[in-house]
Structure 1
Amino acid sequence: MDKLMAMRTFLATAEQGSFTAAGRLLGVSSSTVIRDVSALEASLGAALLDRSTRCVALTQVGAKYRDCIKKIVSAIDMADFEVVRGTLSCNRRFRVNVPIHLGRKLILPHIQKFMERNKDISLCMVSDDGVVDVRDNTVDLRVFVGQCTSTVGLITRTLGYFEYCLVASPGYLARHGRLEHPEQLAGHACLTEGENGHARWLLSGDSSVSVHGVFSSNDPEILRKAAISGVGVAFLPSWLVHEDVWANRLISILPLFTSRVPNGGSINIEYPLKYRRSLHVREFIKLMQEALDVSCVYTR
């Protein structure tokens, strides 16, 4: 058992009044919270919480223990914060990992404003579509697309959700006609992600359609440019094509079948627990929220 982490978990549970709310605050599952608190109680040989189906409440012993360790944990947090602040200030370098296309299309247009507001921060944005572990200290924060899971020692937060849109160029639609139902995609040139040309596009609700691509690529930016060139119909994230739709370079087709993919259509951030008070993290989250507000992403 990590005694300090168990103490943090207990304090969060006492403050929030439930294991689920404590888990959300710490970025871990409720089962992890229950396990850590139970392990702490076992090590002390005392019940710290009264559990019920609706909420948890402090026992008399738990209330005394909370008051004692709260100052200790706060002192440790402050010491960590001073070290982290000093390290970042001395290095003047904040390292962020972002997916390649998301970084170029969504974040990069807002970097100038971010740098103007934060002249003391030197930002290093590493573009990489691989999975990066922020715990190994190669980066301070990572932005990722996909399912948001809880990891002990990390804060993970979903900033927004996006849709997948069916799009084609005005020229392509003028030549081949507009679509009125997904089944018509079988008679159209489709642009698919991958290498074998086959794809199943998940549409709204539980509906889906199997397509065979006349052109395929593992690069969504190539598919976007192919769609603009009039090669065919593409199924792409809203944040990648929203500017093209506004500029009439692409037309959104079958909007009633637009897909907001569960989990896979979310934009998330993750950073170590020690950075939860970091000005750098707070300012970068502000940057992300500004970027999402203008990119057809449903924020929360």
Structure 2
Amino acid sequence: MDRLQSMRVFAKVVEMGSFAKAAESLDLSATVVTRNLADLETHLGTRLLNRTTRKLSLTESGQVYLARVRQILADIDDADAEVSSQSRNATGTLRIYCHPAFGQAQLGRLLPLYARAMPDVVLDVTLSDHGVDLVQEGFDIGIFLGVQKFDSSMVARKLATSNLILCASPDYLARRGEPSAPADLSSHDCLNFAYEQVRHHWPIQWDDQHVNVPIHSRMISNNGGLLRDASLAGMGVAIRSSFTIEDDLTSGRLVQLLKGHHLGQTSVMMVYPSRRLMSWKTRTFIDFLAARFPRPECDPWLADAEVTGPAGPSCWANR
């Protein structure tokens, strides 16, 4: 027995005062309406309606039950209307996971723009470089970097491609000189990520050549923000994703080195559980980010870069 359906039938029969009229109103057959009410009475173990050939009347149990049924049905209709309204309007809490490198460098300027456009959405943002299960941990959307792994069942959309670049502060370059070739890096102080594969060598490519340049690590850290601060302070040469130092390059606080040499790229991925029955708050945020990164194969953070490789200079020129 579908108890909720039987409740609706019972309430409608009382409202219309007739099984036939209730059946017509609900677009059901009279047989189905009669069966629903009979099943409900059997389930409850009591008669709800007194039936005669001329009229229907509620029993005492029916009067008590009708009052509760009407309240239950009203609450269900209210809940349906509320959720349906939220699905058509950007409201509620939007839970966002993001890798800290992208979050600290980019989300701080993007989220206020979205918040102004969607004032009824509460933003709940988690920055972490640890892997997460978006569904299990209740996130609506995640922003991952190319080195991170996520469940293959997720919907993934590339937002942008970021180039890895060499940079140093003007103060450091004034003291130590600017490298003119990859081999020159071996005589510089290098600020390095704590990954064993790049701790002693930096892979650099230009034209058709590829070389692992031996380097001396002046500082090693697993935190990109700390390495950026160290490079700003003049401690040495760092490799950074372009999106993390966009403002530093524009302002001249950092200088890009060895332009035309390619150190690799990282993808910025937007990931979410499903396209089906997506909430409006999630859909609007996806569209918001996609509108700001319309050419995912290009690097939107290096307007003046002379970078060779998959995301060469022509990509920016066409933006």
Q: Residues 87 and 285 from structure 1, CA distance in 2 versus in 1: closer, same or farther, beyond 3 angstroms?
A: closer
For the pair 1:224 / 2:228, whether they are aligned, the reply is: yes
What TM-score does the superposition give when structure 2 sets the normalisation length?
A: 0.60
Letter paired with 2:157:
R
> Quick one: distance in 2 between partners of 1:275 and 1:209?
48
Tell me the alpha carbon deviations over residues 162-190 of structure 1, each in whole angstroms, 9 at most, x when there is no partner: 00110011111111111110111110111
Equivalents in 2 of 1:84, 1:204: separation in Å?
54
Question: Relative to structure 1, is the Cα distance of residues 125 and 296 closer, same or farther in structure 2, using a 3 angstrom cutoff?
Answer: farther
Counterpart of 2:185 in structure 1 is 185
Q: Distance in 2 between matches of 1:98 and 1:140?
A: 11
CA–CA separation in structure 2 for the residues paired with 1:257 and 1:90: 44
Give the Å deviation of 1:214. 1.1
Query: In 2, distance between residues paired with 1:156 and 1:148?
Result: 12
Unaligned runs of 5+ in 1: 1-81
How far the C-alpha of 1:291 sits from its partner, in A, is 5.5
State the match for 2:175 in structure 1. 175
1:121, distance to aligned residue in structure 2 (A): 1.3
Percent sequence identity over matched residues?
A: 25
Bigger Rg, structure 1 or 2:
2
1:160, distance to aligned residue in structure 2 (A): 1.1
1:137/1:276 CA distance change after superposition, 3 Å: farther
- Distance of 1:117 and 1:83 partners within structure 2: 21
Deviation, 1:259, is: 2.5
Q: Tell me, yes or no, if the aligned pair for 1:107 and 1:288 is still in contact at 8 Å.
A: no
Deviation of 1:96 (Å): 0.7
Which residue of 204, 217, 237 maps to 1:233? 237
Q: Distance in 2 between matches of 1:276 and 1:105?
A: 31
Please list the CA deviations of residues 198-251 of structure 1 after superposition, one character each: whole Å capped at 9, or x if unmatched: 243232354332322011111111111111111110011101112101101011
Question: Corresponding residue for 1:42?
Answer: none
Corresponding residue for 1:111? Answer: 111
Q: Does 1:273 align with 2:279?
A: no
Provide the rounded CA distance (Å) in 2 between the counterparts of 1:154 and 1:270: 6
Query: Is the Cα–Cα contact under 8 Å of residues 165 and 237 in structure 1 kept in the other structure?
Result: yes
Q: Tell me the distance in 2 between the aligned counterparts of 1:172 and 1:234.
A: 11
1:257 aligns with 2:261: yes
Q: Distance in 1 between matches of 2:259 and 2:191?
A: 18
Matches within 5 A, 1:112-261: 112-146=112-146, 151=151, 153-194=153-194, 198-204=199-205, 206-261=210-265
> Does residue 283 of structure 2 align to residue 282 of structure 1?
yes
Residues 276 and 107 (structure 1 numbering): CA distance in 2 closer, same or farther, change over 3 Å?
A: farther
Distance 1:93 1:233 in 2: 41
Partners of 2:169 and 2:278 lie apart in 1 by 46
What is the rounded CA distance, in whole Å, between the counterparts of 1:113 and 1:168 in structure 2? 31
With structure 1 as the length reference, what TM-score do the two structures score? 0.63
Q: 1:229 to 1:84 in 2, by over 3 A?
A: farther
Deviations 1:233-282 (A, max 9, x none): 00111011121011010110101113233xxx000011111556443233
The SS at the match of 2:260 is: helix
Query: Quick check: which one's helix share is greater?
Result: 1
How far apart in 2 are the matches of 1:245 and 1:288?
23
Q: Do the aligned residues in 2 keep the contact of 1:223 with 1:234 (CA within 8 Å)?
A: yes
User: What CA distance in whole angstroms lies between the structure 2 residues aligned with 1:165 and 1:226?
Assistant: 16
- Aligned-residue RMSD, C-alpha: 3.2
Could you tell me which runs of 5 or more consecutive residues in structure 2 were left unpaired when the two chains were aligned: 1-81, 295-299, 304-310
* Equivalent in the alignment of 1:295: 301
Q: Is the 8 A contact 1:106 1:292 kept in 2?
A: no
In 2, the alpha carbon distance for the partners of 1:181 and 1:276 equals 54
Flag the 1:217–1:276 CA change in 2: closer, same or farther, 3 A. farther
What is the number of residues matched between the two proteins? 217
